[in-house]
Amino acid sequence: MAYTAPLKDMLFNIRHLARIEQIAQLPGFEDAGLETAQAVLEESARFNQDVVAPLNEAGDRNPSSWKDGVVTTTPGFKQAFEQFAAGGWQGLQHPADFGGQGLPKTIGAACGEMLNSANLSFALCPLLTDGAIEALLTAGSDALKATYLEKLVSGAWTGTMNLTEPQAGSDLALVRTRAEPLPDGRYKLFGTKIFITYGEHDMADNIVHLVLARVQGAPEGVKGISLFVAPKFLVNADGSLGARNDVRCVSIEHKLGIKASPTAVLQFGDAGEGAIGELVGEENRGLEYMFIMMNAARYAVGVQGIAVAESAYQKAAAFAKDRVQSRPVDGSVAASAAIIHHPDVRRILMTMRALTEGCRAMASVAAAAYDAAHHHPDAQVRKDNQAFYEFMVPLVKGYSTEMSLEVTSLGVQVHGGMGFIEETGAAQFYRDARILPIYEGTTAIQANDLVGRKTARDGGKGAKAIAAQVEATEAELAASGSADAQAVARRLAAARAAFVQVVDFIAGASRSDPNAVYAGSVPYLLLAGNLVAGWQLARGLLAAEQNRAEDPAFMQAKIATARFYAEHILTRAPGQRDAIVDGAASVTALPLEAF
Amino acid sequence: MAYTAPLKDMLFNIRHLARIEQIAQLPGFEDAGLETAQAVLEESARFNQDVVAPLNEAGDRNPSSWKDGVVTTTPGFKQAFEQFAAGGWQGLQHPADFGGQGLPKTIGAACGEMLNSANLSFALCPLLTDGAIEALLTAGSDALKATYLEKLVSGAWTGTMNLTEPQAGSDLALVRTRAEPLPDGRYKLFGTKIFITYGEHDMADNIVHLVLARVQGAPEGVKGISLFVAPKFLVNADGSLGARNDVRCVSIEHKLGIKASPTAVLQFGDAGEGAIGELVGEENRGLEYMFIMMNAARYAVGVQGIAVAESAYQKAAAFAKDRVQSRPVDGSVAASAAIIHHPDVRRILMTMRALTEGCRAMASVAAAAYDAAHHHPDAQVRKDNQAFYEFMVPLVKGYSTEMSLEVTSLGVQVHGGMGFIEETGAAQFYRDARILPIYEGTTAIQANDLVGRKTARDGGKGAKAIAAQVEATEAELAASGSADAQAVARRLAAARAAFVQVVDFIAGASRSDPNAVYAGSVPYLLLAGNLVAGWQLARGLLAAEQNRAEDPAFMQAKIATARFYAEHILTRAPGQRDAIVDGAASVTALPLEAF
């Protein structure tokens, strides 16, 4: 089935929730108003629908393969990536200084969603490259920037993130890859990195590995980790490619999903000579820099969740309109009818749609905060937006990816038995999505961040500031007076109250009873994500009521979807509060030996 | 990883919840007391752990294959099935008259769980054979019984259920396979059946297809469907195998999971001559007979959900005890520790465990009701137990299989990145489980049954009788006085109240507003299943408190798990009530053209 980009919904968010016209007031974004957004999104839709999406099922059936250290991607991927680079898509959000287009994240995130809806496996290569670019922009020397950035921004070369080792997954303190200083200031790297996405492939001339390693003699733990650049091919002074570096892909993984994206085991120093690497920034500050890449990547992985949910929804809705089976219970059709006439199928499709639109709205607003945090002339506004964005990152990553599991599973269910047959394609979304709550920090890691750095550290102040904004929306809904707005306001208020109670619980007990607080960390993240997504849909409802005349059918759909979300998804929040606040002790009541 | 049958938990349920000693009072079950149960379960555990479980991963990697109409199963399956037959496992619950052991379902269901935990794909063959046996026992003529039953009960031959056609999935009214009467009273069958589990294989000498078809001139719709037996090889008068029947396997499906079990497309009458079939029972009563098979199979598929959840839990718990990553938040371990020390990992494992044990307890009690419904001397007791069992079937099928999606997904999550690698094995459970809420009637079909036949038809009387039993347990919990019992009573009361409100809503609106009622059908099923599972764990808590001295650690674990379930799973119920009762209109508010 063809993918059709949800441009109307994206532009609705960009205009009414992210408020692009305010972003276009910021220095550097003068040309990035609604018209630009629309033009860029339309072009992105065409490219992804026509070039990238047709390769999605082929990539699943005919994944990347490894032979003697060489990885061959699915036929068509290399050509599509050349078109991607030629179209300037890699540089969308990156600075014009290095050949990028310097567009706001508010626009870039929507384009990222389309790329990922079209093909999650393909999209991972640019996603990781974006992370490498961010790290070099932030911490790289001028020489490193000059060597690498233009090539990465143009899509001539691609980037990777080398964190994980067999014994070091979530726990980077356990990283053992070692860096030996050379007399010329460079280093030799030795070690094994696993789960390296696009760690080896045939789509670009060079691969720029960003690698966490320990310099000899560095402190134990995370304080002794440094960040290095180690390209597949060394780069000569004139920018041409030199010798093959001593980093080899010794195998790729056999995975549940995203099969077209090669997941490499990389051996640094396999030939004994060591892979030549250059230090990024200062020694022992690697983790700090890596978090820059990770934070960009975490937001982007959240968008992947939205993207795969959208694809699953589109396929399920198309099937439900086409598949004829059984008479409707209300007697509205006398014979067997398309299954979309059945209330339960409608409930499933509405759940898929509401979750997807809710997370999209949340991500769009988070992107706008990022743009303001980086471009607003007023320092306090920048600071406030940064705080808001940082609170949103674990929600965009954690909630959107967890919801993508629910949505892609429901997508299989709509298809009945056909959903279990691989040729149908619904199962691929179910398999592909399963990595999203795991990589770039599991949902538990996101939740630790949300609980520790984002909630407990300031005694819940930032979290309550968001709750106050939700409350303001409730007041606007009450003032609107429509039955839809009233119904949404009621559920939003209950969810917000639940959220505040959990915030108080966390702020009160994070030191005295950390086990109790962290026992509820993931449910807290899900509650918070649920609230924020429902809140943004509620803001959308208000905007749709105010702009109804522009496009009555679309605006009515936004209103109906917001109400469905409030009544069917926000209603989960009070139960989550009960489990977190009253049920903490039972999480750890069973002794270890009883498992 | 090796599977270890949860014998203690099974025997706890059989003794304290299903009350095997009462079943052993029933005529025909005199020898089926606790000692027998223990002996049979131990033997079943040995067989499934040693013979069947080791073939599970092999079946996934090397699925059944098709060539020129011949299906070859995974190496080892044929030999294991011979051992299964030789051990008498196929006949466990079937009448001694036909060579079975005539044991209660209370014991048989536990053995079924072990077989399915060991290998879902392998277990499907006996599962379908059980259904064919049930149908022949209920509706078959003496001649059909004489020809087929002993062979099926002994495991010499296997059985299939042929319902689905390309245009007829959930909607059997659309069945088109036709039966032409022959002068000798037999029929010739022509048509295509799809999704036929073990429709062709090499594990037994003959395959007995039970087939839904229309006799020429029969009424339209479900009232014109008859049931036929059409074996792969015709059977001579002396019981020996005769000519190959005109039914061919034209292909098998490429599936998301349960890959070792061949899912056949069967062509009846492919060679033009028609497949010879014999009528089961009377013409045009096929659907009624098929429901006998389906009801047995639905319960069994519910048990499959419990089984795969148990396997996923065991693998995840073992991994969590072994994998070292990060320091515990409470500082209890100074260095990186096994991840089971992390509260969120504990929360995940407890969720997996509580859901699995809750559904197991529910299934055990349902099985006991089935046994009483079939064997009790008092007609009223039989009737009451039958009503209870029939209410339980959609819950056992629907809730246990939906929960298996949650549990197998959590199982992947515990493994982190390793969970996404196929070799780990966690992903297989995630893939295998996905068919369970679909086949033998999707969750929506189960929910229609629960809403229509089981709740609305008697105005909610049966449902409220169950609520009254729950309330009695709440009173016992209150009387017990322990903090655990109090906490469980509180959550049970809230969930039971939510259930009753939904029952009132359904009984009140099922005629006046069927769309509103069926919009909440699946959430109602999930709420009801949640309540009953939590209720049975609460009964278990009381039994564990009373029998604590027997095995203090085990009994304490039952208590802790029941409390966790109450605080983390039962707390979902009030939100479900809100969505069902207050949110019905928003399910169908969006017009069809907006999707």
Q: What is the pLDDT of residue A292?
A: 80
Q: How far apart are CA B110 and CA A557, in angstroms?
A: 49
Question: Angle at the Cα of B133 (from B130 to B134), degrees rounded to 5?
Answer: 85
* Residue from the list B171, B330, B419 with its beta carbon closest to the beta carbon of A514: B330
Compute the nearest-CA separation of A575 from chain B (Å).
5
Residues A188-197 pLDDT 10s? 999 999 999 9
Smallest Cα–Cα separation from B523: which of B546, B552, B544, B503?
Answer: B503
Mention every residue, 6+ apart, whose C-beta is less than 8 A from residue B555. B544, B545, B547, B548
Q: Which residues contact A11 (CB under 8 A, 6 or more apart)?
A: A34, A37, A38, A41
Q: CATH topology for A7-140?
A: Butyryl-Coa Dehydrogenase, subunit A; domain 1 (1.10.540)
The pLDDT value recorded for residue B117 is 98
| Domain A153-285: which CATH number of 2.60.120.380, 2.120.10.80, 1.50.10.10, 2.40.110.20 | 2.40.110.20
**Closest B-chain CA to A432:** B420
Phi, psi of A132 (to 5 degrees): -65, -40
Query: How many C-beta neighbours within 10 Å does residue A518 have?
Result: 28
**Bridge partner list, A267:** A192, A248
pLDDT tens digit at each of 595 positions of chain B: 689 999 999 999 999 999 999 999 999 999 999 999 999 999 999 999 999 999 999 999 999 999 999 999 999 999 999 999 999 999 999 999 999 999 999 999 999 999 999 999 999 999 999 999 999 999 999 999 999 999 999 999 999 999 999 999 989 999 999 999 999 999 999 999 999 999 999 999 999 999 999 999 999 999 999 999 999 999 999 999 999 999 999 999 999 999 999 999 999 998 889 999 999 999 999 999 988 888 889 999 999 999 999 999 999 999 999 999 999 998 888 889 999 999 999 999 999 999 999 999 999 999 999 999 999 999 999 999 999 999 999 999 999 999 999 999 999 999 999 999 999 999 999 999 999 999 999 999 999 999 999 999 999 999 999 999 999 999 999 999 899 999 999 999 999 999 999 999 999 999 999 999 999 999 999 999 999 999 999 999 999 999 999 999 999 999 999 999 999 999 999 999 999 999 999 999 999 999 9
Contact at CB, B589 and A167, closer than 8 angstroms? no
Instruction: Report the sign of the C-alpha dihedral through residues A321, A323, A324, A326, in that order.
Output: negative
Q: Annotated catalytic sites of A, by residue?
A: 440
pLDDT at A445 exceeding the cut of 70: yes
User: Tens of pLDDT along A521-561?
Assistant: 999 999 999 999 999 999 999 999 999 999 999 999 999 99
Which helix (H) or strand (E) covers residue B210, if one does? strand B206-215
Contacts of B262 in chain A (CB under 8 A): none
Under CATH, domain B7-64+72-139 is a member of which superfamily?
Acyl-CoA dehydrogenase/oxidase, N-terminal domain (1.10.540.10)
- Decide: B149 and B182 in contact? Cβ < 8 Å: no
Chain A: residue whose CA lies nearest to B484: A586
**Residues of B recognised as catalytic:** 440
Mean pLDDT along residues A277-300: 93
Could you tell me the pLDDT band of residue A1, with boundaries at 50, 70 and 90?
Answer: low
* Contact: A430, B256; criterion CB under 8 Å: yes
CA distance B58 to chain A (A): 15
- Residue in B571, B577, B580, B582 to test binding to A, most A beta-carbons within 10 Å: B571
Of A431, A442, A561, the CB nearest to B413: A442
Determine the distance in angstroms separating the CA of A351 from the nearest CA of chain B, rounded to an integer.
Answer: 9
Torsion of the alpha carbons at B147, B153, B154 and B160, rounded to the nearest 10:
80
Among the four given CATH numbers 1.10.10.10, 3.60.15.10, 1.10.460.10, 2.40.110.20, the one describing domain B153-284 = 2.40.110.20
Neighbouring residues of A308: CB distance < 8 A, sequence distance ≥ 6: A116, A117, A120, A404, A407, A408, A429, A432, A433, A436
pLDDT at B292: 80
| Partner-chain residue, chosen from B343, B349, B575, that has the shortest CB–CB distance to A572 | B575
Question: Which residue out of A163, A413, A484, A551 would a mutagenesis test of the B interface target, given it has the greatest number of B Cβ atoms within 10 Å?
Answer: A413
User: Residue B393, exposed/middle/buried by CB under 10 A (0-12, 13-18, 19+)?
Assistant: buried
How many residues would you count in chain A? 595
What is residue B15's predicted lDDT score, i.e. its pLDDT? 98
Buried b (16+ CB within 10 A) or exposed e, B51-79: bbbebbbebbeebbebeeeebbbbebbee
Residue A126 has pLDDT above 70, yes or no: yes
Backbone angles phi, psi at B334, to 5 degrees: -80, -30
- Select from B27, B11, B9 the least CA-distant residue to B372: B27
- Which member of A254, A420, A579 has the closest CB to residue B434? A420
Please report the pLDDT score of residue A454 as a whole number.
97
Nearest Cα of chain B lies from the Cα of A85 at a distance, in angstroms, of 30
Main-chain phi, psi angles of A430, to 5 degrees = -60, -40
- The band of A98, judged by pLDDT with boundaries at 50, 70 and 90, is very high
